[in-house]
Amino acid sequence: MSIQIIKAGLLDSIQGLPSIGKQHEGFSPGGSMDIVAHSVANALVGNKKEAAVIEMHVPAAVILFTKETLFAFTGAATSATLDNETVYANQPIVVNAGSVLSFKHQIHGARIYVAVHGGFVIKKGKLQKNDGLATAQSFDYHFEGIGQLHALTLGWTANTQEFYRSNNIRCIQGPNMNVLDTKEVAHFHHKRFEIDIQSNRMGFRLKSDAIQHSIFPELLSTAVTKGTLQLTPSGQIIVLMADHQTTGGYPRIGTVISADMASLAQMPIGSSFGITWVSMLEAEALILAQESNLQQLENACKFRLQEYFSEK
Amino acid sequence: MSDSSPYQLYPISDHAVTLDFGGPIRLEINDRVHRLVASLQQNLLPGITDIIPAYNSVTVVYDYMTVYQQQLKNEKILPVYSFIENWIEQNLKDYSSNVKTTEEEIIIPVCYDKSVGIDIEFVAQQHNLSTQQVIELHTAKTYRVFMNGFLPGFAYMGIVDPAIQTPRHESPRPLVTAGSVGIAGVQTGIYPSNSPGGWQIIGKTPLPLIDENENLLLKPGSFVKFKAISLLSFEKLSKQ
């Protein structure tokens, strides 16, 4: 065991990458809501991208390290308290057994990710107080005990700013855009959408001036994806998130582009944004740019870790 | 066999494309769906993560980067979604009678007693039938699993005999228990787990639809027949 939850937070859970190949049986892909923060946390501690991490909301869990380990946190928290010291996000940190990590500082976003070297063993459902979490494998890197220090930051920080945007989310238009009144289509980019309190890992309900639409055609259920903008009869939008149902029968007026899903996942309840339509070609170019940047960051993390521990 | 029926092909996301045959719920259209799915599965490309059949559509979900990198190797520079659309269309042209879809019939025991089939009397009254006639009509047909969705393992089946087709409740019940067999219009289905639900519940099966390893009893394309059992055997089988 490397970690114990000593105070449960709001909806803490263990998450991997979305699972594949089971959607035709009705299984939601699930996985971390913010794949960028998930991937960066893993890269910082030398894990493969698919390693499981802890996803936390606010208030976040209080975590006891039961073993000396290398960890990192990413996402909504820029800093945290490790015993009495302040430690920062997006850095690899070596921690002693017995240290306690808590998040008391201001949060800028909605979700915090914690990765530990070796990754966590997947465990379904919400994390409870006293849940002890095993890491999948033991620590690969050799380092001297850090003695009196509680923590040792290895000295570099991943810059994740370029991956996030606020205020505006880009979408491609969906197959049922034609249910919208033409006037509504023309003015769509002026609308603001607020993330409603009834939002969760399945979907975000958006509040806006009701969207004017024609009577819904009789639509048969078809597959839906993460990011699908479903128009409900009341003229409000539900955006499907990680734990979405696999099929749906509401008109699909658009889909959030993959490159903006991390930004959307980090928008807290009550925040608002506008929607900009982009073409499929733009959406594809933006995935490519984001994935290349993420790959570069992952490579840099790997290189730094190898260099650090080979010098020891 | 080549399929020349009309269809629409469009991206629904930057990592998913849908082929839509259109039209109402019809067995012939859904049969085309399962043939296309079988063909796509036989000719799978790297990077395809999910192939999701629905009543009259097939959706292919893919990992953009994997498909893109594969394309680079082949020196084909198409937008990835166009490449996927072409692949789907190619399969639609080529799928032939030697594409195997399942023919096996799965027998589902159902207890139609009103204590578990809580809406069976209502359904009977709606159509001026006895509950026995409802049972006979529901067990007479072989149904196709059109698709799974809504919940893991929930199978949408049809087509229900017009004599017992009944619309769903106007507002869903907060709890329908696992195993409940329902009717909603032309469809029949079984709730695999406890869930809110609006279908007319006419019976209940003691069989689990999903096991602890998440294996499903009813998958898209399966053929299903219901067999009436007594309350006593239902209770016996439920304990097993």
Residue A293 has pLDDT above 80, yes or no: yes
Domain-terminating residue out of A104, A132, A162: A162
Q: Give the gap in angstroms from C-alpha A22 to the nearest C-alpha of chain B.
A: 7
| Chain A residues closer than 8 Å to B33 by CB | none
Is the domain of A158 the same as that of A35?
yes
Whether B13 sits inside 8 A of A255 (CB atoms) is yes
B119 Cβ partners below 8 Å, 6+ apart? B182, B200, B201, B202
Is the domain of A119 the same as that of A10?
yes
Please tell me which residue of chain B has the smallest CA distance to A256.
Answer: B13
Is A309 inside any structural domain? no
Is the domain of A91 the same as that of A30?
yes
Whether A247 sits inside 8 A of B24 (CB atoms) is no
Is the domain of A154 the same as that of A29?
yes
Give the number of other CB atoms < 10 A from CB of residue A205.
18
Is A58 inside any structural domain? yes
CB distance A46 to A154 below 8 Å: no
Is A268 inside any structural domain? yes
Whether B50 sits inside 8 A of A175 (CB atoms) is no
A186 Cβ partners below 8 Å, 6+ apart? none
Q: What pLDDT is attached to residue B93?
A: 83
Of B37, B61, B68, the CB nearest to A288: B68
Whether B147 sits inside 8 A of A284 (CB atoms) is no
- What are the Cα distances from residue B81, in Å, to A133, B21, B62? 41, 19, 9
Is A272 inside any structural domain? yes
Is the domain of A65 the same as that of A127?
yes
In angstroms, rounded to a whole number, what is the distance separating the alpha carbons of residues A40 and A3? 20
Q: Which residues pair with B156 in a beta bridge?
A: B147, B189
Q: Is A206 exposed, middle or buried (0-12, 13-18, 19+ CB in 10 A)?
A: buried
CB distance A312 to A143 below 8 Å: yes
Q: Give the gap in angstroms from C-alpha B178 to the nearest C-alpha of chain A.
A: 16
DSSP label at B150?
S
Arithmetic mean of pLDDT, A34-58: 96
CB distance B230 to B112 below 8 Å: no
B128 Cβ partners below 8 Å, 6+ apart? none
Is the domain of A23 the same as that of A154?
yes
Domain B105-239 CATH (choose: 2.40.100.10, 3.40.50.720, 3.50.50.100, 3.40.50.360)? 2.40.100.10
| Chain A residues closer than 8 Å to B54 by CB | 220-223, 247
CB distance A44 to A90 below 8 Å: yes
- Specify the pTM: 0.92
Is A156 inside any structural domain? yes
Strand A237-240 to strand A228-231: parallel, antiparallel, or no bridges (unpaired)? antiparallel
Question: DSSP 3-state helix, strand, coil percentages of chain A (rounded to 5)?
Answer: 20, 30, 45
DSSP label at A26?
T
Confirm or reject contact between A285 and chain B (CB < 8 A): no
Please tell me which residue of chain A has the smallest CA distance to B57.
Answer: A222
Is the domain of A40 the same as that of A8?
yes
Whether A222 sits inside 8 A of B54 (CB atoms) is yes
Is the domain of A139 the same as that of A175?
no
3-state secondary structure of A299: helix
In angstroms, rounded to a whole number, what is the distance separating the alpha carbons of residues A291 and A262? 12
pLDDT over 90, % of chain A: 71
Look at A279 and A120; give whichever has higher pLDDT: A279
Arithmetic mean of pLDDT, A279-303: 96
Whether A257 sits inside 8 A of B50 (CB atoms) is no
Is the domain of A149 the same as that of A188?
no
| ipTM for the whole predicted complex goes beyond 0.85 | yes
Q: Which residue has the tokens 């087709």?
A: B165
Q: Give the domain range for residue A66.
A: 3-162
Is A142 inside any structural domain? yes
The DSSP element (H or E) to which B45 belongs, if any, is none
Strand A237-240 to strand B105-111: parallel, antiparallel, or no bridges (unpaired)? unpaired
Here the CATH number for the domain that contains residue A195 is: 2.40.100.10
Residue A106 has which token pair?
């201001």
pLDDT in tens, A71-88: 999 999 999 999 989 999
Is the domain of A234 the same as that of A91?
no
In angstroms, rounded to a whole number, what is the distance separating the alpha carbons of residues A259 and A164? 9
Of A27, A223, A227, the CB nearest to B59: A223
Interface A:B, Cβ pairs < 8 A:
126
Is the domain of A89 the same as that of A224?
no
CB distance B203 to B177 below 8 Å: no
Q: Which residues pair with B11 in a beta bridge?
A: B17
Task: Tell me which residues of chain A, numbers 190 to 229, contact chain B at a CB-CB cutoff of 8 Å.
Answer: 220-228
Domain-terminating residue out of A162, A193, A228: A162
**What's the number of domains chain A is made of?**
2
Q: What is the second-level CATH architecture of the domain B8-94?
A: 2-Layer Sandwich (3.30)
In angstroms, rounded to a whole number, what is the distance separating the alpha carbons of residues A47 and A229? 33
Q: Give the gap in angstroms from C-alpha A47 to the nearest C-alpha of chain B.
A: 20
Is A29 inside any structural domain? yes
Look at B51 and A187; give whichever has higher pLDDT: B51
Q: Give the gap in angstroms from C-alpha A20 to the nearest C-alpha of chain B.
A: 5
Domain locations in chain B as residue ranges: 8-94, 105-239
Q: Which residue has the tokens 């582009």?
A: A257
Q: What is the pLDDT along chain B (240 residues), one digit of tens a residue?
A: 445 678 999 999 999 999 999 988 999 999 999 999 999 999 999 999 999 999 999 999 999 999 999 888 877 778 999 999 999 999 998 775 555 666 789 999 999 999 999 999 999 999 999 999 999 999 999 999 999 998 999 999 999 999 999 998 988 899 999 999 999 999 999 999 999 999 999 999 999 999 989 999 999 999 999 999 999 999 999 987
Q: Which amino acid is at A12?
A: D
Is the domain of A67 the same as that of A179?
no
Q: Which residue has the tokens 């207890």?
A: B111
Residue A202 has which token pair?
């399945």
Look at B126 and A151; give whichever has higher pLDDT: B126
In 3D space, the residue among B87, B107, B117, B66 whose CA is nearest the CA of residue B230 turns out to be: B117
Is A303 inside any structural domain? no
